[in-house]
Chains A and B, each alone.
Chain A
Amino acid sequence: MKFRGRVWKFGDDVNTDEIIPARYLSLADLSELGRHVMEGIDPTFPSKVKPGDIIVAGKNFGCGSSREHAPVAIRTAGVACVIARSFARIFFRNAFNMGLLILEAPEAAAAVLEGEALDVDTDQGLIRNIATGQEFRVSPVPPFMAELLRNGGLIAHLQKRSVACGPLDPSNKEPGKGSR
């Protein structure tokens, strides 16, 4: 996949309460989450961000809660991908499961400035800063997660597998009995 996008820059330890504050967690329509994305840091962000834009952040992006509303809010705002020095672990898993592209690229995260445009090539694992010509490597995705992505996320992956082995583990069929 190749695309070009404009950068919105954020700092270290961006947390899930900043990405989508808890007051929006009872919104029944998930597509509305995007209208409040990053409000905890910049209340004007939802009105500024455009489809195809890229979020670039420092370390530990997405720390805090396990709410999947966070990657969903970013995705429904139309953000093409999040590039960070590192990601918090639950957010990392959730992003893959929810189909939000995230790229660990410490050098890009440090060098890129707000407003710059990037060319991202996920097949080559390369990010290119159009203004400066600088190129950055993306940390490789673990093979299992690459397989998840190829299969279209965790649920599609499960559907594929359930044909082969069935959704139930026979050792756990009897309610209340330990399976150890």
Chain B
Amino acid sequence: MGMTITEKILAAHAELETTEPGRLIEARIDLALANDITLPLALEPFRQAGGTKVFDRERVVVVLDHYNPAKDIESAQMLKTCREFAREMGLTHFYDVGRMGVEHALLPEEGLVVPGDVVIGADSHTCTYGALAAFSTGVGSTDFAAGMLTGKSWFKVPETMAFELIGRPGPWVMGKDVILHIIGKIGVDGALYRAMEFTGDGVGRLSMADRFSIANMAVEAGAKNGIFPFDELTKAYVEAHSSKPYVVCESDPDAVYAEKFTIDLGSLEPLVALPFKPENVRPVSEVKGLRVDQVFIGSCTNGRIEDLRIAVHILKGRRVAPAVRMIVIPATPKIMAQAVEEGLLEEILRAGGAVSTPTCGPCLGGHAGVLAAGERAVATTNRNFVGRMGHPESEVVLASPAVAAATAVMGVLAEPGEVASWEGFEA
């Protein structure tokens, strides 16, 4: 019986020839990740289990991205605890202010994840690295503690759902629209406990940035992981960012899938997810005109250079509407530097937008753009739950950077085509 890419990667890390959905395995992990919210909770279990050093200081990564730079005294204390632990353990890959970026944009950029890897992260959006043909999943702090101590973690091998992408995305359609479409179709538990595997010719027409956005939100459909096949684009990306050896796994032609869907990228249009679930998906064309107080472009979903480029294409020579606050947070220092070099930040500032240092910031209602009661944001983030970005009576509308930028200019939820021309845009 054939195996899927997820099954193959897991089997290889459990020293098994084959494996099948439902089987419980103990797998070697190539990387364990935590952040300033989840690391402090891992310290007690780590010590309790007798931990004095991590299994491999090259393979335990700590990124202080959520409440950093410290938003208040309590978070400053938590950050200090994290720093002390990282230094005590001698972690090679420890990222703090100045070198820190939003973790799921940072790790691929730093070349820390390569194809064929098994990665656990104490952050639900760890599934992002599936874009690199790796198995990558979110866990809690205790699972992370066990992983950083032993270099292993247990998994139930998930069933896989196949999403065959065909066709070519039209103007303004980004990875964000693809994943919102899928979540709208299958629901927030549509892939519960399962792997979401993206296949088909359409994959080759999606940039790495698009693939990261798509894999990032697999968890919003309940999935254990999202995963893309390895192709020329993956190869180019990985070899530009990493010198680590890697293993290419691919699904067998007779691999078994629990369900199969076909998505014609050419049939998609810009989408949003209205409050309060990511499955509440509508075409922008049907709901445009909605009043908006804040626009946020950033996060592990859409804070990459490609996201800033398309936003600036729309903003250039225009002004953010007077009643709207636009906040742009490049996801990593390198993305920020690149945006400076390309003149993107200057255009954002000229348009009346604000730019902040890399952080998760407002995405989870942390800082740098928290919402008041009755306010509504259009955000390029991944969750629009009640109170996600602040007050329980605030609202978040999830959208692509193109829709977010158009909305900032129009002052109400808008389609990119209402503001700018697709002609002349080269991502």
| A17–B188 touching, CB < 8 Å | no
Say which size band chain B's interface belongs to: 35 or more
Would A17 and B189 be within 8 Å (CB), given that A167-B150, A169-B150 are in contact?
Answer: no
| B146–A179 touching, CB < 8 Å | no
| A162–B151 touching, CB < 8 Å | no
The CA of A175 and the CA of B75, in the complex, are separated in Å by 31
Partner of A88 from the list B51, B142, B222 (CB cut-off 8 Å) is: B222
Summed over the interface, the residue pairs from A and B with CB atoms below 8 Å come to a total of 163
The CA of A89 and the CA of B56, in the complex, are separated in Å by 27
Determine the residue in chain A with the shortest Cβ distance to B70: A26
| B24–A40 touching, CB < 8 Å | no
| Interface stretch (choices A48-56, A90-98, A107-115, A133-141) | A90-98
A173 CB within 8 Å of chain B: yes
Would A144 and B154 be within 8 Å (CB), given that A41-B386, A60-B189, A155-B145 are in contact?
Answer: yes
Partner of B193 from the list A15, A27, A89, A173 (CB cut-off 8 Å) is: A89
Would A22 and B392 be within 8 Å (CB), given that A144-B24, A154-B146, A173-B56 are in contact?
Answer: no
Say which size band chain A's interface belongs to: 35 or more
| A172–B12 touching, CB < 8 Å | no
Question: Nearest Cβ in chain A — how far from B29, in angstroms?
Answer: 9
B138 CB within 8 Å of chain A: yes
| A90–B138 touching, CB < 8 Å | yes
A6 CB within 8 Å of chain B: no
B45 CB within 8 Å of chain A: yes
Q: Which of A12-32 contact B (CB under 8 A)?
A: 13, 15, 17-18, 21-23, 25-28, 30
Please indicate the chain B residues that have their CB under 8 angstroms from the CB of A75 in the complex.
none
B251 CB within 8 Å of chain A: no
B156 CB within 8 Å of chain A: yes
Please indicate the chain B residues that have their CB under 8 angstroms from the CB of A94 in the complex.
139-140, 142-143
Partner of A18 from the list B48, B56, B387 (CB cut-off 8 Å) is: B387
> Which 10 A-B residue pairings sit nearest by Cβ, starting from the closest?
A94-B140, A60-B189, A97-B142, A26-B74, A66-B124, A68-B140, A169-B151, A17-B385, A22-B364, A66-B138
